[in-house]
Structure 1
């Protein structure tokens, strides 16, 4: 009811929708500024408010910009936005919990089947690995810096990170990455290439990471280029 009030005129009649405006390179600077500001505001907030009512947003924007009296008091607007934010946060937490349980079940099933495949070995931590190329150089310690090429995938085959795609290897201290990497790379020798199947509890766990949902089992193909 509160939001609906925001799209009404003072006499209670619904305003008609504003006609769409065609923006081109030949549009005036004023038109381009207006369009650019509106587009960037929307693009920057669409993830935060995915179910935004564009009609009431436009009315509120116009009223605020043109100095009209707001349809809601300041206290009402703050309460509406606070309540909305709280509801969205609760929904996000519930969604993440559901995804975490689902991914945990899928990951366990994947690892159970994967363990039966030829050449796959498993350590006490649950880390599974397969030797693709046996290296001939030295093996790293957890305190060493390593140079590697790698590709990281989810169990559905989605690639979420790859030094191959970036066109250059990466260096990092081996004790500053996920536990599955710290353990797994110490099994390798320079020049080796392994495939690792890493359970969530020695990957990113329930927290997940950018592009990685909570409790995701990960697959990494790793080439150990150099131990430094």
Structure 2
């Protein structure tokens, strides 16, 4: 008889991004693809906790459009689960961050990241 290979159940990408609320938002206003968002964030390497980047240090919120590949996939998947005003820790695996290439010399290849994200504003595009 032919051997059958057992594959693990598929995991959706949404399940791979952990969103842990630090401060609840309004609980009713969630961003949708195409919305313009304003956030503050701190990025850290998950394994060491080393801070890589911070919009707080620049004193300039980070703005982007959700769902149009302006940010890493893990951000699009995690932030859409946050409500307006929420502060959360996003844990993003390497495959939904910068993958095998890394980024800018500060993020090595195959590195899981954590982002402390504060969702400040949602504007329809």
TMscore range, shorter length: 0.7 to 0.9
Query: Which residue of 197, 202, 207 corresponds with 2:91?
Result: 197
Give the greater-gyration-radius structure (CA). Answer: 1
Partner of 1:132: 22
Scaled by the length of structure 2, the TM-score of the pair is 0.80
Number of corresponding residues: 106
1:99-178 pair list within 5 angstroms = 124-125=12-13, 126-136=16-26, 138-155=29-46, 156-175=48-67, 176-178=70-72
Write the distance in 1 (CA, Å) between the matches of 2:22 and 2:84. Answer: 13
Q: Equivalent residue of 1:194, what SS?
A: strand
Q: Equivalent residue of 2:49, what SS?
A: coil
For residues 33-86 of structure 1, the C-alpha deviation after alignment (integer angstroms, 9 at most, x for no partner) is: xxxxxxxxxxxxxxxxxxxxxxxxxxxxxxxxxxxxxxxxxxxxxxxxxxxxxx
Write the distance in 2 (CA, Å) between the matches of 1:215 and 1:145. Answer: 29
Shift of 1:138: 1.4
Please identify runs of 4+ aligned residues in structure 1 that moved more than 3 A: none
Shift of 1:168: 1.9
Measured on the aligned residues, the alpha-carbon RMSD in Å equals 1.3
Write the distance in 2 (CA, Å) between the matches of 1:157 and 1:166. Answer: 20
Write the distance in 2 (CA, Å) between the matches of 1:206 and 1:143. Answer: 28
**Structure 2: any 5+ residue segments left out of the alignment?**
1-10
Q: Equivalent residue of 1:227, what SS?
A: strand
Say which structure is richer in strand. 2
